[in-house]
Structure 1
Amino acid sequence: MSGTDRPAEGWTYCDVRPRSAPDLAPDLNPRRASLIRVVRAKWVNGTVLHYRLTPADEQAGGPPPQLDAVRDAFAAWKALGIGLDFVEVADPAAAEVRVTFDQSDGSWSYVGRDVLGIAHDEPTMNFGWDLTTPWGRVTALHEIGHTLGFPHEHQNPNAGIVWDEPRVIAEFSAPPNSWSEAQVRHNILRKLDPAEVEGSTWDPESVMHYPFDPGLILQPERYGREGVPAPDGLSEDDEAWVLRWYPGLEPDPPRLEPGRSVPLELAAGGQADLVVEPAATRDYRIGTFGDADTLLVVFEEVDGEPSFLAGDDDSGQDRNALVTVRMRAGRRYVVRVRLYSAWTSGSTAVMLW
């Protein structure tokens, strides 16, 4: 098992921001609710995430090498062939992801689409230590992983980790982390709800896993005795999972024509992409049909880049997703439908009219 060398001052860790909770009816079918919780943090595949790095002349602690380390980390995720894209912008109001380098605030990020609920003048990610070291480069990959919608792997309920809780609390309450007990429980001891976890296995080599010194884990015994080494990059499972959620885009998606319903044969978490090239300029309605929870998003292609027009999320509600958008003749639009769940044998479909 490979790993990054332990810094002389000790491990400093990501303090991930709490996730928002979906507003679901208490009597909602548990399987349906579980799928909504798993999928809701993920972006619609094909989204362009714009990120803004706070320059050094605006905030101390962000010299160019630190900025370049974040750019390199975005490039490493993209190099896997995922369907998301990352574009750096100068205007905070144009950025879904706003990165700061406040050395007094540790390293942290919001998770997935929760960044959309953060005010444009507030950061969604921060780096609180040097990113040019091996551990710093892993940290940059880790925080971007949170922004892609991935939680901490060591909190996976399938890991079977039994902690020496008093020792863990003592370890992380001391420098360099100096966390409160609540922070220790939120970031380490708390196990994720099984309804929010994809898959059934644990990956101790994941970039989303903290390293741990020997003596903090009681079970599995091996990791209590040896500890968990720091990841030195993206693991094989990291690469497989991110490509499952964000596979490379089809070069020629099918077309969505007015008045014609298109069936969607999707598994939970799957996505359909369709192209609209309207013959007339007018307001169009686009909606899903069937007993399904979906996220429906419409983009207009502007200078080769998808620009968000409208979206609707019907998850957990007794309705279907529906948007009204003005489309112009001669332009190209992309409709993307991400399925949370379908609870009958009937087909899910999307229609333009």
Structure 2
Amino acid sequence: MHDSTPCEIINVDDLSASYEVAINENPANRVASSGGRGKRAVAKHTRFWTPGRTLHIAFLDGDDDFIQATMEAANNWLPHINLEFLFIEGDQGDIRITQTPGTYWSLIGTDALLRTEGATMGLSPDMRMPGFFAANVMHEFGHALGALHEHQHPEVNIPWDLRALYAAHGADQFADEDHYARTIVDERYLTRVDANEVRYSDYDPKSIMHYAIREDWTEGDFKIDLNLVLSDKDKAFMAAAYPYPAAPDE
């Protein structure tokens, strides 16, 4: 399967508030700067929840099939992390899910705490495609747990055919950099994450956090089919972000 529905990461406007809420939730979210006096320390943080805590997850809408399928897919993360999910009624969860037909989106990790009302995650109710739906739910819950996109890994080297990639998304390779359609492609596919601002493991083409990449968007025969399950590196990365306490010495 090649096609997927690109998700939208929702970034908060107030970076200082994002930093404060992340550090208050989990002091390990501090990321040490590797130099450069001009760089603001507040930019250096991750957004992981406190290991061992229970995340309360509310559904703002959706029928029983949507809710059940979402819970089953999200729970695929649980064997690999020191967190609990408690699915609740009402609208007061740490993570609040709404149906958004045709699109998927999420705030990143602890940024959800900055949104005091309304949804923090949107899922398209693609219930006729259960494997596709489950993969997208796991992807969005990856974001909700603090993960970013794998195809924007700091060390990734995808051999993009830029003309083809832009054209496929209704943009011109030679448009101004602030042209809307080009900006969307740049943000969703091309902009790499700053290695100084994240925790990351080796690049993983099998990651649930990787977009599907069509072969006709690249030079040569490079492609990434839609990943439908958590990869071994996904599991290891989240296990490191949400570790269990070390066993006491006997």
TM range (shorter): 0.7 to 0.9
Q: Does 1:86 align with 2:79?
A: no
**Among candidates 92, 95, 98, match of residue 96 of structure 2:** 98
SS of residue in 2 equivalent to 1:215: helix
Paired with 1:210 and 1:168, the residues of 2 have a C-alpha distance of: 13
| Residues 67/187 of structure 1: CA separation in 2 closer, same or farther (3 Å cut) | same
Query: SS in structure 1 opposite 2:52?
Result: coil
Q: 2:56 aligns with which of 45, 50, 69?
A: 50
- Partner letter of residue 52 of structure 2? G
Equivalent-residue separation in structure 2 for 1:200 and 1:85 (angstroms):
24
Q: TM-score, normalised by structure 2?
A: 0.79
* Cross-structure match for 2:230: 234
Q: What residue ranges of structure 2 are gaps of 5+ in the alignment?
A: 20-31, 172-179
Residues 309-347 of structure 1: per-residue CA shift (max 9 Å, x gap): xxxxxxxxxxxxxxxxxxxxxxxxxxxxxxxxxxxxxxx
Equivalent residue runs for 1:180-259 within 5 Å:
180-199=181-200, 201-218=202-219, 224-249=220-245
Alignment map for 1:106-125 (pairs within 5 Å) = 106-120=103-117, 122-125=118-121
Distance in 2 of aligned mates of 1:166 and 1:19:
31
Q: What is the deviation of 1:20? A: 5.5
Aligned length: 224
Higher helix share: 2
Is the contact made by 1:78 and 1:85 (CA closer than 8 Å) also made in structure 2?
yes
Q: Which residue type is aligned with residue 201 of structure 1?
A: D
Q: How far has the Cα of 1:233 moved from its partner?
A: 0.5
Q: Deviations over 1:185-220 (max 9, x none)?
A: 2111111112123245210000000111102123xx
Q: Provide the rounded CA distance (Å) in 2 between the counterparts of 1:239 and 1:183.
A: 29
C-alpha distance in structure 2 between counterparts of 1:38 and 1:239, whole Å: 24
Tell whether the 8 Å contact from 1:50 to 1:86 is kept in structure 2 after alignment: yes
Q: Indicate the structure (1 or 2) with the bigger Cα radius of gyration.
A: 1
Match of 2:47 among 41, 56, 59: 41
After TM superposition, the score normalised by the length of structure 1 is 0.57
Contact 1:169 1:184 in 2 (8 A): yes
Which amino acid in the other structure matches residue 248 of structure 1? Y
Are the equivalent residues in 2 in contact too, given 1:22–1:37 (CA < 8 A)? Answer: yes
Q: Judging changes above 3 Å, is the alpha-carbon distance between structure 1 residues 251 and 74 closer, same or farther for their aligned structure 2 residues? A: farther
Of 96, 120, 127, which aligns to 2:123? Answer: 127
Q: Give the aligned partner of residue 149 of structure 2.
A: 152
Percent identity reads 26
Structure 1 counterpart SS, 2:215: coil
Q: CA deviation at 1:158?
A: 0.4
Answer whether contact 1:73 1:144 (CA < 8 A) is retained. Answer: no
* Contact 1:83/1:247, CA 8 A, preserved across alignment: yes
Structure 1 residue 173: deviation in Å? 3.6
What's the CA shift string for 1:60-95, capped at 9, x where partnerless?
A: xx3322211210122111122x211111111212x1
Q: 1:46 to 1:173 in 2, by over 3 A?
A: farther
Aligned partner of 2:49: which letter? Answer: W
Greater relative CO, 1 or 2 (CA 8 Å, sep 6+): 2
How far the C-alpha of 1:248 sits from its partner, in A, is 2.5
User: 2:55, 2:94 within 8 Å by CA — same for their partners in 1?
Assistant: yes
Q: Contact 2:4/2:226 (CA < 8 Å) preserved in 1?
A: no
Aligned partner of 1:46: which letter? G
| Shift in Å, 1:35 | 9.0
Task: Work out the CA distance in 2 between the residues paired with 1:12 and 1:200.
Answer: 25
Alpha carbon RMSD of aligned pairs, Å?
A: 2.9
